[in-house]
Amino acid sequence: MSSFQTFISKVGDVVTDLKPVGQTITSLPAILDAVRHPESINDRLLLLEKLLTLMAELGDSKAPPEYQKISLDLQHLAIDLLYKDLPHPPASYLALPPASKPISAKAPTPYKEGQYVTYAYRSADGSNYNPLIPSLGQAGTPYARSSPGFMQTNFKNLPDAGLVFDTLLRRPTKAEAPGEKADGFTPHPGGVNSLFFALADIIIHTLFNTDRQNPTVNNTSSYLDLSVVYGNNEDEVESVRRKDDQNRRDGIGRLYEDVFADNRLLLMPPATCALLVLFSRNHNFVAQRIFEINERGIYKDPATLKAQMNKGFAPGASAEDEKLAKQAKSALNAQDDEIFHRSRLVNCGFYMKVILGDYVGAILGLVKDGKDWRLDPLMEIRRLSHEFSPRGEGNVVSLEFNLLYRWHATLSREDKAWTEKTFKEVLAKAGINTTFDQLTRQQFYRAAGLALSKEQLGDVRTWTFDNLKRDSNGKFSDADIANILQRSTSYRAGAFKARGIPDVLKVIEVLGIEQARGWGACSLNEFRKFIGLEPYKSFKQWNSDESVARAAELLYKDIDNLELHVGMQAEQSKVPGPGAGLCPGYTISRAILSDAVCLTRGDRFLTVDFTPFNFTTWGFEDCQYPSTPDGSFGGMLTKLLFRHFPAYYPARSAYAHFPLLDPKFMKVQMEQAGTADKYIWTRPQTPVGVQTGETVVVDSYAGATEVLYNPKVWKSDYEKKLGIVVSGLQDPKLPDTKLVEEVLRSSSHGWPGFFVETANRLVKERSINHAGSTARYVDIVDDVINALPAHWICDKLIGLNLRDKKAESQFVTGLQDVCDYVFLDWDPVHDWQLRESSVAFFQKLHKVVKHHLESESRFIPNIIGHLLDEKTPFLETLHRDHGNKSANELAAALFCQVVPTAAHWSQSVAHVINYYLDASREGAREEIVKLVDEGKTKQAMDLIKTALVVDPPVYGAERTALRATVVDGLKEAAAGETVFVSIVEANQNIPIGKSGIIGAGEYGLLAAEFFEKVTPGVVGAILGLPKLGRCPGPSGVFTRFTQHTRGAPEQIYINALGGLTPFPTSLIISYDESQSKI
């Protein structure tokens, strides 16, 4: 049985077993046809679309686990099948490359001379992707030929290319057919917008760059390596890599500001270049982050290395200094190369996930249908025969797919106008005065060559587009780039159709038709046979539009003579539906999926070398799909837009969540799904006061205290965010917490004792032994400090049993998510996930508390509750004194009072412990223990606050001006302008006699009444452990780094999986059990 028959058989089994799944029933005719004609499938029955829809239904995150498993099994078979659609390696090429074709020999600089570089890296020209066939897919080698052409029509009998365009491809200037607007434009029926095709432009130009002098050669590599940003050879790569004014390496592996290497894209609509700027910026973001995290601890400050170079290479330097300078230069180059190459891997990994998540997601209609399942061609697959399905074996793009990706009919009205204007300007500069219809090949090449010449463009760092201006650092304004991207999101693309290509592109299409003939391309039917589709028997079957079919028949006489390029572009297009979002012609629709699988699965840097070791742990995690729904249904471009333009893409903006679909179209889809209210559908407004894209930083002590402690002028979002958690997006409001505060206060005498007893118990229970010694080790953060407020809330307040460590960890995560969302959610990247997680956590706790309070009024549930130890004295008192407050209100009020600040309390204690663990502070540590033992908690708090001023739990806070005002040391802040207060910087210059800033305000567990009553006892108990010290190695220190994303320092912690969090995750300490009082 063939692999295809195995696949169809498996699908048949699924249809039989899962009759409740509606989509499977409609698949039956298509499956029956495939079984009968496995080598000649009738694609009009939409087999592929139905199978993908079936896999998406079964594999959606909301589907039962057993369905997801079936979806995965089907996906394994489908990917293996699609990968085998094309031969690996190709059997035929347009020409044979020279036997001596050199591979890229330049390797990154090793840290020690003579050593190999141990990390994987992409070569500049795409060589060495397959180590056994080094030139496979390399830039500067010939195109492959997927399907040989046996069409016997003499070239002289083929119709004139210009006539073909005029009769089959040209877009009318007025409505001539159903669905066309008055100007002849047909809007895309699947809601796809211009930004989708700007991304398609990048993908196409990444893979195809035909050499004008030798058109058999592809001057770019055959991989999704972002060569349009980085370049296709060493010279191009060097032109974009950052160097200082002495031509020395950057040391952090960054690119120059907002650069890209491929000048062809400058003649594309501006959204294409805006996306290139986005990926260019992402490279620099990744490089900076990899350097800051310094996972292996080998990176050094570039300024220090360059200082050593300056000293050693200066006239009169000693021999020793000269030796050290040479070592510093080698270290600088090795470090810069490593970070550059790792950052490129991560950036390309992100690019690939954008292609699979956003691009393919839109192609298959998954986004519009609200499905977060994605086809994953990268996965490791073991066949039933126990063989591995091939991955990472290399790839060579073919002439057929070069012709396939010419989607000029989709040009939007706005991009058509831009293209016409640009063509006129380019032609005028070349001294050419003619109409688009009469423009010749030679005139076009002359004008384009001049426009893209080195003399015309200058250095890559000065390139511009859409008349944008660079600043003194060479960077474009955030506002300008965001404006272009948002405009493109709002532009509806054109439909795939015959007679849909604007006449301004006639010369491009004519060149394409003639080039296909020069390559000896196969016919449309030959290509359809090659990919397993039924050949067309007539022109009417190819396109049911009578006038189109008749024109094609007049030109080509026999359907088997219909050329591939023309046949694909003028073929009848699909209609929107499940599994169909792009809606091109049927042949294109089938072929692009095979191509997507081959392009990604054949790239070893996206498969076998796509590892945390090569990408770094953080980098690997950063380019994964969201682990929980983020409102984008599997999209990844959302994350980039939020990351790089947070001021211009606010949280919940549909322009960020669905960037490749027309917002008007998508709003209708979400209204039908009942989820439209979760999004903001209007185009984002320009934020007040933001010009450069960075929020103003307030870093002086006077300015910080003025902003933080003057709520009449500066407001926070805390109450609004918490209101959203407890009341919803549409009407965020907070409950009255006075009664809860009073009942909490009445039981406050027992708080310190519970916290200290619980801390001692957890230390004892969760410590591990040191073999042959009385030394013990415990993760004081994960196993003790983070758990303390969780146990207090559950045991003493709400009556929830934390059955085991897993339940405890989940509860702690809930506390941290609420705290993060309410107090720390400054940029929109994680806003959706934090909000949804916080709401779910609230609903869980609210349900528990409401149930307990309501059961107090019922005798039998009340007795059962006491027997099961679910009730707490606190809830009994709250119920007794509830007055006219409902259980619903009281449960919400309790949540608001104790949950949002619980994680901040834990973080504060963790920072204090970490501060006093240093050997240099042993005396102060002993003093705290002594003061606590003597009951002098006020004096102990002074020492605790000292630590928190140096290492505050909250490094900064955002505030928005309610009216125009002047902040110390800054310009006037406009009403509605948001500033970022850098607490850690303000604390570095505290005036004499003033107190340091510990947090952004006193709330809940951070209020003095709780914090100063409970914290000293816990700190004293931990610091009082005998022979207290740090665990040897990295486990004994915080895994954190300082980032500067808002122009101010901010501490970020790294969890065990490489994810980032604002909260400490681990700190292992040691102590001596033999002397312990626990």
Per-residue pLDDT, 855: 81
How far is the CA of 278 from the CAs of 470, 632, 645, in angstroms?
Answer: 15, 19, 9
Determine the pLDDT at residue 854: 87
Is the distance from CB of 902 to CB of 790 less than 8 angstroms? yes
pLDDT of residue 1048: 87
pLDDT in tens, 356-369: 999 999 999 999 99
The alpha-helical segments, DSSP class H, found in 122-226 are 161-164, 194-207
CA distance 430 to 446: 7
pLDDT at 182: 87
Q: Which residues contact 579 (CB under 8 A, 6 or more apart)?
A: 46, 48, 49, 50, 51, 52, 53, 56, 364, 365
Answer left, alpha or beta for residue 431, where phi above 0 means left and psi between -120 and 50 means alpha. Answer: left
Do the beta carbons of residue 645 and residue 258 sit within 8 Å? no
Please report the pLDDT score of residue 869 as a whole number: 43
Return the residue matching tokens 């489908």: 78
- Cα separations (Å) of 785 from 756, 762, 824, 912, 914? 11, 9, 20, 11, 12
Residue owning tokens 């970490």: 914
Which residues in the chain are classed under CATH 1.10.630.10?
696-1075
Residue ranges for the chain with pLDDT beneath 70: 1-38, 98-105, 152, 383-386, 690-694, 856-870, 1076-1078
Contact 777, 1068 (CB under 8 A): yes
The burial of 12, by beta-carbon neighbours within 10 Å (0-12 exposed, 13-18 middle, 19 or more buried), is given as middle
**CATH of the domain spanning 696-1075:** 1.10.630.10
Rounded to whole angstroms, the Cα distance separating 176 from 951 reads 70
d(CA 847, CA 888): 9
Do 524 and 568 form a contact (C-beta atoms < 8 A)? Answer: yes
**pTM, two decimal places:** 0.94
Say what the pLDDT of residue 859 is. Answer: 41
CA dist 700 and 305 (Å) reads 31
Gap between the Cα atoms of 402 and 391, Å rounded: 23
Tens digit of pLDDT for each residue in 1011-1032? 999 999 999 999 999 999 999 9
Q: Are 377 and 593 within 8 A, CB to CB? A: no
CA distance 257 to 1029: 45
953: nearest Cα among 1019, 1000, 1004, 1002: 1000
Sign of CA dihedral 4, 5, 6, 9: positive
Taking the CA of residue 41 as centre, how many other CA atoms within 13 Å lie in the half-sphere pointing to its CB?
24
Annotated binding site: 408
- Identify the pLDDT of residue 42: 85
Q: Who's near 303: CB < 8 A, 6+ residues apart?
A: none
Give me the pLDDT at residue 963, please. 93
Token pair belonging to 834: 């934090």
Given CA atoms 150, 151, 154, 156 in this order, what sign does their dihedral have?
Answer: negative
Binding residues for heme b, as ranges, are 408
